[in-house]
Every structure is written in structure tokens, then in C-alpha cells.
Amino acid sequence: MIGIRIKHALLRNSGWLSAGVVLITVVIAWQFKDQNWQVVVSVVGGALSLVYFVQKQKLEELRLFKDLFVEFNARYDKIQDRLLFIAEQNDGELSKEECQVVYEYFNLCAEEFLFFRLGYIDPAAWSAWRSGMRCHLNNSRIRQLWDKDVKSDSYYGLQL
């Protein structure tokens, strides 16, 4: 998880990092301006390529995050009313239909966790989603199903 934090910190601060790379490159180029000009041009070109690559990577990951965020929220919106209704009930066992809704929710949570672990979901979004999961698990019937099913290790390592 430390690697994910570092990655997000680098992408969040990529503008400053890019400015720093360019500034250092200009200083180095100035120092060696009387030397071999091909080396200076190569260093400047390499630095500018690095800045371009980092900015492009940031944009691509932002697009992917947005797509995932929209998809996950749309999937949650489809089951939200049924899930909230189930969470309001505290007695009796879950019906087959209720289990299906809860399993659909568990699978959604697991996918969100997988993409978070891969570094494609912003930690702030993951924290909010995890808080929502914990709220649903406050319901004893949902918690009981979770405790039973999580033993199968079918949720990409998600543990709440």
C-alpha cells in the first residue's frame, strides 16, 4: 500500500515535479553550454520527454479513474434501494433474492478494492467507499453473510 501512496503523491504533485525537472535540466544545460552541445540537447530532450510522459500518464490514469468511478457508482445506484431495504431489516434470515443483492454488493466492493490495490482508485474515494461498506456490515444479517462468504477468499483479499 505504500507504493500506491507514493504513486498517488507523485501524480498529485506532477506539475511541481515537472517544473523541478525542467529547472534542474536548464541549470545543468547552462553549466555545460560551452561543452558538447549534443549532450546538452540530449539531456534537455530527455527531460522534456520525461515531463511529457508523466503528464500523459497522469491524464490516462485520471480518465481510467473517472470511468471506474462512474461505473462503480452506477452499479451501486442500481442496487442501493434494495440494499438499504435489506439493511433496515434486522430479523429473520435473508431470502434468496436478498442474498443475491448482497452478493452483488460484495462483488462490487471487491472490484473496487482490487482497482484500489492496483493503484487506479484514489485513496480518498476508497476511504469513502470502505466507510459505506462498514455501515452496511453493521446490519447483523448482512454481516453474517459476509463473515460466512469471506472465508472463501473470493474477494481479492478484501477484509473489513
What pLDDT tens digit does each residue of the chain (160 aa) get? 677 677 777 667 777 877 787 788 778 777 777 777 777 778 778 888 888 888 898 899 899 999 999 999 999 999 999 999 999 988 889 999 999 999 999 999 999 999 999 889 988 999 999 999 999 999 999 999 999 999 888 898 898 7
3-class secondary-structure state, position 53: helix
21 and 51 Cβ atoms separated by less than 8 Å: yes
pTM of the model: 0.78
Domain ranges of the chain: 2-152
Residue 89 backbone dihedrals phi, psi, to 5 degrees: -85, 135
Torsion of CA 154, 156, 159, 160, to 10 degrees: -90
In our burial notation (b when 16+ CB lie closer than 10 A, e otherwise), range 21-58 reads: beeebeeebeeeeeeeeeebeeeeeebeeebeebeeeb
